[in-house]
Structure 1
Amino acid sequence: MSKTFSKADVASHNKPDSLWIVVDEDVYDLTKFQDEHPGGKKILSRVAGKDASKQFWKYHNEGVLKKYKPSLQIGSLDSKPKSEPQPAPKAEPKAEAKPSPTYAAPVPTKAPVQSSQHEEAEALEQYGSQIPFADPSWYQNYHSAYYNESHAALRAEVREWVEREIEPFVTEWDEKKEVPREIFLEAGRRGYLAGLLGVHYPVEYTKNTVKAVPPEKWDLFHEMIVTDELSRVGSGGFVWNMIGGFGIGGPPLVKFGKKALKDRILPGILTGEKRICLAITEPDAGSDVANLTCEAKLSEDGKHYIVNGEKKWITNGIWCDYFTTAVRTGGEGMNGVSLLLIERDMGGVSTRRMDCQGVWSSGTTYITFEDVKVPVENLLGKENQGFKVIMTNFNHERIGIIIQSLRFSRVCYEESVKYASKRRTFGKKLIDHPVIRMKLAHMARQTEASYNWLENLVYQCQKMGETEAMLRLGGAIAGLKAQSTLTFEFCAREASQIFGGLSYSRGGQGAKVERLYRDVRAYAIPGGSEEIMLDLSMRQSLRVAKMSGMKL
């Protein structure tokens, strides 16, 4: 039970050898922390024995409090209201999982939708800060046809882990350009990695399952929630470190790999002990995938492909054991492309870190393949038909980018609302200036509109069969990919304007906004640049409409 102190108790600890302060009615002992304080001892001496809430929030963000609270808080003021504990959403009871015979497509896929979701569609309990538009509407007691109690339970489970073990340290990890391996392993132990492949939950390859959701109930909205909640930390580098390479390098292996290959590789990947990434982009071939030149020639005995070439801007590559790699096995163009699973320990694979504008902790990599001998059994799909596999995989990648971009937009908005509600200029709070409210309104309207489109597309992915979904949704997904990254860019800029100079320096109150501003281009370009996505959305949608009987 937490100790309580009176204001007089705190006031008596106002000397360097015993220095206490109060922040938001919680009491902190900073005696041993004085030498570590970035602002020096003198600033702490000014607030020794006093309520330092105003001074703290003037210079720091919530992440600082979360980081140091466990080690420095010693109790609370006796005047602090005691909050009533809120019951967590109940997870559905787990049933014994039965292995599924085959995998569905990465995305779109047809997954079972719970009947209770759509027959009653009861609004779920309020959750989170309740700042309007800072979370999706179903967090704020809005009715939704998409979510049930298992989604709410998963949301609470992921958020608790993120807020306790991840968010307080993200800035530190970003500066170091690496996330501790233990965090990735924990995601594997919690079963999250296995749920991020856009397929049915692969119980046949892992014993680690998600606590809040029975494997047979796992759907695309559960996957969406995991990605969304991880993105609340406001770091593209962190999210890509966790699921960037895994979420796009894993699905081709799952869907198109031979059984023996999957039996050998997948268990280690799903636990997090091994890592995988997607290696498509080359120095001279980005969105124009059909133009790639990394070559794979069949050996004379026909047992191996000999791979030579380079790949660039490969997420997670420096840490990976496996590379789902696009290679040229035939003639020019898309009909000469194949997909191989290349393993680092085959030899001839060298990787080096690339320094980029944003996503610092994602491990962006330049890869060189020199006479790598890859067994023909590592071919994913059929020879010279890898382009189809790549195009199928792009939908899953783009959905992930959309989810992340829209949560980052919300982070920029939420941080702006919080800051504008305490920062005063010209005699009043920022949020009382109409020009600031206008900025917030434009951020909210774009984010909400885009998110509703996302929910609709995820729902369509679940309801349509694989062929229908691939045919009809590709154009819409491409269009939303562009829409969401443009929304992210807009929100990052407007948040930066609201924060002013605080968003120009790393760390402090504007840390998330500054970091996300650097991450914008990493979302606007990969997975298909905005210009190409917008053109593709029209070309594919019109083509499908003509096939369906469009009349002009």
Structure 2
Amino acid sequence: MSKPLRVLSRDEVEKHNKDGDLWIVIDSAVYDLSKFAKLHPGGLAVLLDEDVAGQDATTVFYSLHRHEVLQKPQYARLVIGHIALEEPRIRPVGVGELSRVPYAESPWLNPSFHSPYYNDGHRALQKEFRAFVDTVITPDAQACEASGKNASPEVYKAMAEKKVNHMRLGPGKHLHGLTLMGGVKGEDYDYFHELIVTQELTRMGARGYATGLGSGVFLGLPPVMNYGAEPLRSRVIDEVLNGKKVMCLAITEAFAGSDVQGMKCRADKQEDGSWLINGHKKWISAGMWADYILLAAKTYGGDGPDGAVTAFLVDRSMGFETKAITTSYSKAAGTSYVTFDNVRVPADHVIGEEGHGLLIIFGNFNHERWYMCASMARGARGIIEECLLWSAQRRVFGKPLLAQAVVRNKLALMIAKAEAMQTWIEHLTFQMTRMDHRTQVKQLAGPISFCKMQFSLWEKELADHAVQIFGGRAVTATGMGRFIELANRTARFDAVLGGSEEVLGDLGVRQLIRYMPEDQKL
């Protein structure tokens, strides 16, 4: 049974200022570090400093540690009392709450601002979904990001119960008849609801975990939903949406990245109608966790651009092998090298028509890149929030970092980009709500390509500014700057995922060339 907390004076705390008898004050709470001091990671000397031992160490503490440290049970137990007539001044953001830091949230979440895009249903979904992410997903995400493991079965189960995977697929008949978070009817769910879900998930600050957790859902499942044959289609949809099975998409090869038609993985049709698949896929996100792989393979016409491509759904029980690839950004993504060695696939596992694999795959690229843009726009907010808080509490040359004009300039550039990113993604999202899928493919391929290209360029700039603001802490995987370290490490990943910046920029220009007027001259 714990002892009752004591009401203490600062004079009394001041008497406990030596090795073996050491107290400090952090935000009005009194900590007895007498036994802990020799275990302190920074050494005993740090705690015996004249500005720490027996003193109010609030400013010193927050220049070295994140607030979450105080919430760990082993440190919370060190509290023996509080200073008389004083109340804590630091109030962490509660579960599901909005941040109070300027520009840390998208403008539409500011009660003083107005938006033509969001209604009460959107706001209700955002509120309930944020609380779900904070309580259920984020703790698991942080643990798995550190360990490099897949999401826990409990998270998959909870997401299935809350229909999270259903929502990640965007609007559609798969939602009809369902009541989603915030009381939103499945028939009313639109792309702005999906934008909210995507951006709220980004807040968990675990990029690799997020990729491993959901990439197969919104990348691999739509082709099966749209082109798969029954009863395979319904079975796989049920298993993936309800968290029973994990899925991934396998397109990229060592010699075929943005040049999708250059793939060498082959599928040869057998007399009984089945297919034998041979070849390799590389850098496949969630491949290590996958039960199913949606695969693209050459099916006739030889290697190179003349070979037609067919899509297949391959079950792990059919014999493909995965080997982990160590990337610079995260083991939790389950990035893998996949080998197919005479893997036999039944005829009913062909997705869509034979030879039409590229059309099926390309038809999903807009949605994939839109998702990436939505994530990057919200990720920018997270970087800004970290930098603003750090700049306010970190003191250099006797003043907060915010007193430095060069730091304020960096923050201004970062905020301007984040505001532009959110405005741009909302504009594209609005177009998606007004276009059918065929029109989206025709009209939005170029704009979304430009958006993804520019966002990844800005993301790297934001990460660079953040590293300069945090200094050495930004290249340390733990502690105060760990989220900036992760953001800097993953920014390069976004620059190539879903098509490199150069390829997407070129795609956008090639799209516009089709519409250049022949009857207009300078």
Q: TM-score range by the shorter chain?
A: 0.7 to 0.9
Aligned to 2:331: 360
1:454 aligns with one of 415, 425, 440: 425
1:259 pairs with 2:222: no
Distance 1:462 1:58, change over 3 A: same
2:132 pairs, out of 143, 161, 166, with: 161
Which residue among 27, 30, 43 is the counterpart of 1:24?
A: 27
* Residues 13 and 257 of structure 1: CA distance in aligned 2, closer, same or farther (over 3 Å): farther
Q: Is the 8 A contact 1:476 1:541 kept in 2?
A: no
Decide whether the 8 Å contact of 2:299 with 2:355 is kept in 1.
yes
Matched, 1:511 2:516: no
Paired residue type of 1:268? E
2:7 aligned residue: 6
Query: 1:23 offset after TM fit, Å?
Result: 3.6
Structure 1 residue 443, shift from structure 2 partner? 0.9
Residues 82 and 424 of structure 1: is their aligned pair in 2 closer, same or farther, counting only changes over 3 Å? Answer: closer
Which residue of 216, 224, 244 maps to 2:195?
Answer: 224
1:336 pairs with 2:308: yes
- Matched pairs, number: 508
CA contact (8 A) 2:126 2:182 kept: no
Preserved CA contact (<8 Å) 2:121 2:182: no
- After superposition, the C-alpha distances for 1:159-208 in whole angstroms (9 at most, x for unaligned) are 3233344545655432321244233332223221111113426247x989
Distance apart, 1:238 and its partner CA = 2.2
Between 8-17 and 128-137, the greater mean CA deviation after superposition: 8-17
Cα shift at 1:551: 4.1
For residue 472 of structure 1, the aligned residue among 426, 443, 459 is: 443
* Structure-2 separation of matches of 1:394 and 1:266: 20
Q: 1:207 to 1:150 in 2, by over 3 A?
A: closer
Query: 1:53 maps to which residue?
Result: 58
Which stretch shows the higher mean deviation, 395-404 or 191-200?
A: 191-200
**How big is the shift at 1:374?**
0.9
The sequence identity of aligned pairs, in percent, is 35
Are 1:373 and 2:378 an aligned pair? no
| 1:406 and 1:487 in contact (8 A); partners too | no
Q: Which residue identity is paired with 2:308?
A: G
User: Are residues 1:134 and 2:139 paired?
Assistant: no
How far is the alpha carbon of 1:473 from its aligned partner? Answer: 0.6
- Partners of 1:273 and 1:43 lie apart in 2 by 50
Higher RCO (Cα < 8 Å, 6 or more apart): 1
| Distance change (3 Å), C-alpha of 1:498 and 1:504 | same
Contact 1:208 1:271 in 2 (8 A): no
What is the alpha-carbon distance in structure 2 between the residues aligned to residue 297 and residue 167 of structure 1?
Answer: 44
Answering whether residue 160 of structure 2 is matched by residue 188 of structure 1, we say yes
Residue identity opposite 2:61 in structure 1: F
What per-residue deviation string (whole Å, max 9, x for no partner) do you get for residues 309-340 of structure 1? 10000001011100011111122527601111
**Distance in 2 between the 1:62 and 1:326 partners?**
47
Cα distance in 1, alignment partners of residues 42 and 179 from structure 2 = 44
Q: Which moved more, 1:275-284 or 1:183-192?
A: 183-192
Structure 2 length-normalised TM = 0.87
- Paired with 1:364 and 1:252, the residues of 2 have a C-alpha distance of 21
Counterpart contact for 2:125–2:183, Cα < 8 Å? yes
Asked whether the equivalents of residues 240 and 359 of structure 1 are also in contact (C-alpha less than 8 Å), the reply is: no
CA distance in 2: counterparts of 1:533 and 1:250, whole angstroms: 24
Q: What is the CA RMSD across the aligned residues, in angstroms?
A: 3.4
Could you list the per-position Cα deviations for residues 27-59 of structure 1 after superposition, in whole angstroms to 9, with x for gaps in the alignment?
A: 668789778754456756776776442232111
- Distance in 2 between the 1:51 and 1:191 partners? 48
- Matched with 1:95 is none
Alignment equivalent of 1:494, drawn from 465, 469, 474: 465
CA contact (8 A) 2:124 2:182 kept: no
How far apart are the structure 1 equivalents of 2:228 and 2:36?
Answer: 54
Distance of aligned partners of 1:186 and 1:28 in 2 relative to their CA distance in 1, 3 Å threshold: farther
How far off its partner does 1:288 sit? 0.5
1:174 aligns with 2:142: no
- Measure the CA separation in 1 of the matches of 2:34 and 2:131: 29
Question: CA, structure 1 residues 76+66, in 2 after alignment: closer, same or farther (shift >3 Å)?
Answer: same
Q: Secondary structure of 1:340's match?
A: strand
1:482-522 Cα distance to aligned partner (Å, 9 max, x none): 11111110000000011111112221111111111111111
Residue 179 to residue 21, structure 1, CA distance change in 2 (3 Å): farther
Q: Is the 8 A contact 2:279 2:340 kept in 1?
A: yes
One-letter amino acid of the structure 2 residue matched with residue 327 of structure 1: A
Give yes or no for contact 1:194–1:270 (8 Å, CA) kept in 2: yes
Hey, what's the Cα distance between the residues in 2 that align with 1:156 and 1:524? 31
Distance 2:68 2:374 in 1: 22
Is residue 413–residue 444 contact of structure 1 (8 Å, CA) maintained in 2?
A: yes
How far apart are 1:5 and its partner, in Å?
A: 5.5
Select which of 103, 106, 119 maps to 1:148: 119
Is the contact made by 1:352 and 1:365 (CA closer than 8 Å) also made in structure 2? Answer: yes
Q: Distance in 1 between matches of 2:27 and 2:249?
A: 46
Letter in 1 for 2:87: K
Q: Structure 1: which 5+ residue stretches go unaligned?
A: 90-126
Answer with 1 or 2: which has the greater Rg.
2
> What is the SS of the residue equivalent to 1:492?
helix
CA contact (8 A) 1:293 1:328 kept: yes
Matched residue SS, 2:231: helix
Q: Distance in 2 between matches of 1:396 and 1:70?
A: 45
* 2:69 matched residue in structure 1: 64
Decide whether the 8 Å contact of 1:406 with 1:450 is kept in 2.
Answer: yes
Q: Provide the residue aligned with 1:79 in structure 2.
A: 86
| 486 and 375 in structure 1: CA distance in 2 versus 1, 3 angstrom threshold | same
Matched residue SS, 1:325? strand
Do the aligned partners of residues 40 and 216 (structure 1) sit closer, same or farther apart at CA in structure 2, a change above 3 Å counting? farther
TM-score w.r.t. length of structure 1 = 0.83
Task: Name stretches of at least 5 consecutive residues in structure 2 with no aligned partner.
Answer: none
